[in-house]
Homo-oligomer: A and B are copies of this chain.
Amino acid sequence: MKIVSFGELMLRLTPPGYYRFRQADSFTVTFGGAEANVAVSLANFGVNSAYVTKMPDNDIALAARDKLRSFGVDTSGIVYGGERLGIYFVERGASQRPSNVIYDRKNSAVAMAMPSDFDWDKLLDGADAFFYTGITTALCDGVADICRSACETARKKGIKVICDLNYRKKLWTLDKACTVLSDMMSCTDICIGNSADACAIFGISVPAELYEKGNDLTYDGEKYVADELKKRFDLSYVALTVRRTISANVNRFYALLTDKSGLCEFSKEYTIELVDRIGGGDAFSAGIVYSLIGKKSVKESVEFAAAAGCLKQTTEGDFAVSSVAEIEALANGKSDGRVSR
């Protein structure tokens, strides 16, 4: 199985422990980006996982590339050039204090990339699927065009196209997102997201009786959104994650997956004592891609993906490090965290 992902890989700088930005004397150095996170998870699953981006030819960027390589991700499609690697700063929240993210990603190499930088026909050669997220299309019009051209090439080659909507309000407006992503959906097979983003972007309104309390949807409400997406954009599958933030330290997390036949399955619910929340959705996406491209059932797929998403949030950094065996153990019921010795 070969999957190609395309997006922006960034330097992530994180104060240690619970230190706030203004208290930090050091930053932990990791790397991340929604699509790279997915590529890493797929490599961990044993998939031939190729990652495509553009990055400057300096040692900060090469360190990011090295890290991808350490997981076995195929980085031969990376284009070198441009001026800087995007950066994001993450301050870990606690209890009532939310985590905080400061982006410093403008004018990055990939955001300034040209269509001629990427030969999609070659890059997608032999692939089973192409993965991108809404973030990539939000970087700028140029990158959105490059991404669209990748999707079109993929479709022409019979390669499945998967998108995680991943709305970031600091990158673009809902209106702009609606225009671009509606267009992108027309060459996408599988859509991943969450109901709040999907409703906001595409103007889906859920009947009042499907709300649980506040803005939280019931299981039927979630299904309603998924069905609406499937219908509007003629998608093969829609997967939605549901996250309930108990506090900055504890989240509840589960997911649904529905296919064209109308089959809709929910995963188990996990109450997660968070280690690092970031990348949880990406690990879920990788689980969906791995399972669906691998022809697993809807039920197996959503359980595997939700367990992958859960486990990511119990480890540090954007990049998940769980194996298929570890994820299946959790998906199949071993969730007590007992020591193995």
From B24, B95, B322, B337, contact of A95 by CB (8 A): B337
A59 touches B20 (CB 8 A): yes
Contact of A341 among B170, B250, B334 (CB under 8 A): B170
* Set of chain B residues within 8 Å of A101, measured between Cβ atoms: 339-341
Chain B residues within 8 Å of A18, by CB: 275, 314-316
Q: Which of A26, A95, A100 has the most chain B CB within a 10 Å cutoff?
A: A95
- Classify the interface of chain A: helix, strand, loop or mixed: loop
Interface 1/0 per residue, A266-307 and B, CB below 8 Å: 000010111101100000000000000000000000000000
Question: With A13-B13, A60-B89, A95-B270 given, can you name 5 additional A-B contacts, CB distance below 8 Å?
Answer: A17-B316, A87-B104, A94-B275, A95-B337, A247-B273
A-B CB contact pairs (8 Å), 30 listed: A18-B275, A18-B315, A18-B316, A20-B315, A21-B59, A22-B63, A22-B321, A23-B316, A27-B27, A60-B89, A66-B72, A94-B315, A95-B270, A95-B272, A95-B274, A95-B314, A95-B337, A96-B272, A97-B315, A98-B338, A99-B337, A99-B338, A100-B339, A100-B340, A101-B340, A103-B341, A245-B337, A248-B273, A248-B314, A248-B338
A60 and B15 CA atoms in complex are apart in Å by: 11
Q: Which residue of B lies closest to A30 (CB)?
A: B25
Q: How many chain copies? A: 6
The number of chain A residues touching the other chain, given as a range, is: 35 or more
State whether B273 touches A99 (Cβ < 8 A).
Answer: no
Instruction: Give the contacts of A322-341 with B (CB-CB under 8 A).
Output: 322, 326, 330, 334-341
- Tell me which residues across on chain B come within 8 A of A163, comparing CB atoms: none
Task: Provide the residues of chain B in CB contact with A1, threshold 8 Å.
Answer: none
**A14 to chain B: closest residue by CB:** B26
A248: B residues at CB distance < 8 A: 273, 314, 336-338
Q: Does A224 contact B (CB under 8 A)?
A: no
Which of B84, B315, B335, B337 is close to A104, meaning CB atoms less than 8 Å apart? B84
Query: A340 touches which one: B60, B98, B246 (CB < 8 A)?
Result: B98
Minimum CB distance partner of A315 in chain B: B20
A58 to B99, CA, bound (A): 15
- List CB contacts (< 8 Å) of A83-134 with chain B: 83-84, 87, 89, 91, 93-104, 106-107
Contact B60 A21 (CB under 8 A): yes
Query: Are A336 and B247 touching (Cβ within 8 A)?
Result: yes
A69 within 8 A of B: yes
A29 and B23 within 8 A (CB)? no
With A17-B316, A337-B97: A273-B245 Cβ-Cβ less than 8 Å: no
Closest Cβ of chain B to A106, distance in Å, is 7
CB of A249 within 8 Å of the partner chain: yes
Residue ID in chain B nearest A70 by CB atoms: B70
Question: Within residues 187 to 206 of chain A, which ones have a CB less than 8 A from any CB in chain B?
Answer: none
User: Hey, what's the 0/1 contact readout for A15-44 against B, CB within 8 Å counting as 1?
Assistant: 011111111111111000000000000000
Contact of A96 among B16, B19, B106, B270 (CB under 8 A): B270
Are A98 and B339 closer than 8 Å at their CB atoms? Answer: yes
Interface pairs A-B: 8 shortest CB-CB: A248-B337, A70-B70, A21-B59, A101-B341, A97-B314, A95-B273, A94-B314, A245-B336
